[in-house]
């Protein structure tokens, strides 16, 4: 019954096993082994007449016939029994689980910090990031406008929890991954030239911290890039090619450069005969670029692209 209930309890439960006076060391050893096989954490053993007074006795025995409990505690003289006990102790040590608790790495008394003023929509505030001696962020303080408001109190409590997590070893990338792109008010345009759009205060703060303290490779994996990093004149690995402009005359005729290419024979088609159709070469599918302002995917609008989030265009009016 104890073995059936023990897996559902975090602590140890025990039940007294009443053994007769004739119980031997081998019987007690077998009891311990059976308890270990059943997964019990604790077991109590009581041998009849092992004490001067006991609440329950099966029979009256003279004090001369009572055995001393010291004989049980004595070291076993049987080499086989000693070997089995040593094997059991090694098995218990092998199955012992050591739970590693997180250790808090406190900030030094004198530390460097960076304070950033921000504005998201109509909400202004400051956040300060304290650093360890090696430059790692270890604490965050957030102060928003309208001191004493519910939002200000929640941001203070949130900053304390983030600071404790950083000091207990939580990676910065974990916080950035969880809180970036979170959407709630206030949200909208910011005064940061590198991060123009924010979907919430948490989104802006953690993307700003990521830009300041994470490498480009780590931020690229999380999809966090600045406006300048998103702007690419050409696709990676594609070289720009110059095109010769031959120009057009005033009367609409093309000016030919005879030295530029060898003359091609002119084929005259008879009237009523259609020239053979030439298949146009297949071009790779063009993927809409990302917006240079907010980073969302743009949509095709005629020969240009327009962002449906912030309204920016790729150059057209």
pLDDT of residue 152: 81
Strand 44-47, strand 16-19: pairing: parallel
The rounded distance, in Å, linking the Cα atoms of 93 and 299 is 65
Greater model confidence, 202 or 245: 202
Strand 123-131, strand 137-144: pairing: antiparallel
Judged against a pLDDT cut of 80, whether residue 296 lies above it is answered with no
pLDDT of residue 76: 59
Task: Order the strands of the 123-131 sheet from edge to edge.
Answer: 113-120, 123-131, 137-144
Query: What would you report as the CA-atom Rg of the chain, rounded to the nearest whole angstrom?
Result: 40
Least confident of 65-79, 121-135, 208-222, 273-287: 273-287
Which residues are bridge partners to 142 per DSSP?
A: 127
Least confident of 67-76, 105-114, 162-171: 67-76
Mean pLDDT computed over 242-271 = 51
Judged against a pLDDT cut of 90, whether residue 163 lies above it is answered with yes
Neighbours of 144 (CB within 10 A): 20
Is this model's pTM higher than 0.75 or not? no
The rounded distance, in Å, linking the Cα atoms of 23 and 57 is 15
The rounded distance, in Å, linking the Cα atoms of 91 and 81 is 15
**pLDDT tens for residues 40-86?**
888 888 888 777 666 666 655 555 455 555 554 555 567 888 888 88
pLDDT of residue 252: 47
Greater model confidence, 253 or 128: 128
pLDDT-derived band at 259 (thresholds 50, 70, 90) equals low
pLDDT-derived band at 282 (thresholds 50, 70, 90) equals very low
Greater model confidence, 60 or 159: 159
Averaged pLDDT score across all residues of the chain:
76
Cα three-residue angle 303-307-312, rounded to 5 degrees: 90
Judged against a pLDDT cut of 80, whether residue 276 lies above it is answered with no
Cis peptide before 81 (omega within 30 of 0): no
The rounded distance, in Å, linking the Cα atoms of 179 and 207 is 9
Judged against a pLDDT cut of 70, whether residue 240 lies above it is answered with no
The beta-carbon contacts of 196-202 under 8 Å, at least 24 apart in sequence, are: 196/227, 196/293, 196/294, 196/310, 197/293, 197/294, 197/295, 197/296, 197/309, 197/310, 198/120, 200/120, 201/120, 201/123, 201/125, 201/144, 201/155
Mean pLDDT computed over 151-163 = 88
Q: Which of 199, 185, 195, 190 is nearest to 151 (CA)?
A: 185
pLDDT of residue 160: 92
3-state secondary structure 206-253: HHHHHHHHCCHHHHHHHCCCCHHHHCCCCCCCCCCCCCCCCCECCCCC
- Every domain of the chain and the residues it spans: 2-94, 113-229, 286-317
- Polymer length of the chain: 317
Share of the chain above pLDDT 90, in %: 10
Mean pLDDT computed over 250-275 = 51
């Amino acid at each position: 019954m104890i073995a059936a209930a023990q897996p559902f309890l975090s602590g140890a439960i025990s039940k007294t096993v009443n053994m007769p006076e004739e119980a031997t060391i081998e019987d007690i050893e077998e009891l311990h082994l059976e308890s270990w096989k059943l997964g019990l954490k604790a077991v109590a053993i009581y041998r009849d007449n092992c004490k001067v007074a006991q609440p329950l006795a099966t029979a009256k025995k003279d004090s001369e016939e009572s055995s001393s409990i010291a004989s049980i505690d004595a070291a076993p003289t049987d080499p086989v029994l000693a070997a089995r006990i040593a094997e059991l102790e090694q098995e218990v040590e092998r199955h012992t689980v050591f739970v590693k608790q997180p250790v808090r790495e406190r900030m030094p008394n004198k530390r460097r910090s960076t304070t950033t003023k921000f504005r998201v929509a109509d909400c202004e505030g400051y956040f300060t990031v304290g650093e360890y001696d090696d430059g790692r962020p270890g604490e965050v303080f957030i102060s928003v406008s309208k001191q004493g408001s519910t939002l200000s109190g929640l941001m203070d409590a949130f900053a304390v929890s983030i600071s404790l997590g950083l000091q207990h070893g939580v990676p910065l990338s974990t916080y950035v991954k969880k809180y970036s792109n979170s959407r709630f008010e206030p949200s909208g345009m910011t005064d940061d030239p590198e991060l123009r759009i924010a979907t919430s205060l948490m989104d802006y703060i953690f993307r700003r911290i990521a830009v300041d303290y994470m490498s480009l490779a780590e931020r690229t994996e999380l999809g966090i890039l600045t406006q300048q990093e998103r702007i690419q004149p050409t696709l990676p690995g594609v070289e720009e090619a110059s095109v010769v402009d031959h120009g057009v005359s005033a009367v609409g005729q093309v000016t030919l450069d005879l030295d530029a290419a060898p003359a091609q024979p002119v084929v005259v088609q008879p009237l009523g005969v259609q020239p053979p159709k030439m298949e146009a070469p297949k071009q790779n599918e063009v993927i809409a670029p990302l917006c240079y302002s907010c980073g969302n995917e743009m949509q095709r609008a005629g020969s240009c692209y327009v962002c449906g989030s912030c309204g920016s265009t790729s150059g057209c009016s």
